[in-house]
A and B are shown apart, each in its own frame.
Chain A
């Protein structure tokens, strides 16, 4: 399968830790990348590879992977982390297709 599956919505109390997951067969070969998207804005890369953060991304964002599941963890969630989060990888079946998860709406309570 070339699909990536995410929970549609997750909530977290301010300052607590939250994990957003992404499942798919391609994740057995590809590290997932993660994007944060706020309303009316373009997506922003927050995690790529094994656990890499682009410059400017706070270190409360981290990534991990096991088998066919990738996770984005926010340790000490802030109000400004409320956003949609998408995972992404290439299809591992060799057809070069790129796939996105359906997105997870994170609410910070």
Chain B
């Protein structure tokens, strides 16, 4: 049973850098993409970006200039850094495992395992 355990600083001041890490336990790290998603208070889910075991990344264009996602395959971990945070970055941040493949002429894409979430508050 794959489990994701995430951690990181929960209170930041404006202009600081958010840093979170997600560790993968109980399953393979390679062969998947791993995502970060966030959810501001009372709002919906927003995808931040993803990385695979070899370090290939994709980012949400709206956050790309401030986001870095990295991987440490020796520890089965991946990390998120978001620079120059503001109050608008206050949210619960989740990590998740991506699954994706094509079957005949239709694509499958889903996130089947999620971390419990980390609340990050940006306040002066």
A residues near B (Cβ < 8 Å) are 29-31, 33, 35, 42-45, 48-50, 54, 86, 88-90, 92, 95-103
Contacts and interface: CB of A to CB of B under 8 A. Distances in A.
Contact of A100 (B46, B100, B117): B46
A82 to B, nearest CB: 17
B45 to A, nearest CB: 4
Nearest to B4: A42
Contacts, number: 72
Given A96-B58, A98-B35, A90 B45 contact: no
Interface residues on B, range: 20 to 34
Interface of B: 35, 37, 44-47, 50, 58, 60-61, 94, 98-100, 103, 106-112, 114-117
Contacts of B108: 30-31, 48-49
Nearest to A95: B61
A30 B99 CA distance: 13
Given A50-B103, A86-B45, 11 more contacts: A30-B107, A33-B110, A42-B115, A43-B45, A43-B114, A44-B114, A54-B112, A98-B35, A98-B50, A103-B44, A103-B45
Contacts of B50: 98
B46 A33 contact: no
A49 B103 CA distance: 9
Contact of B47 (A49, A50, A54, A99): A99
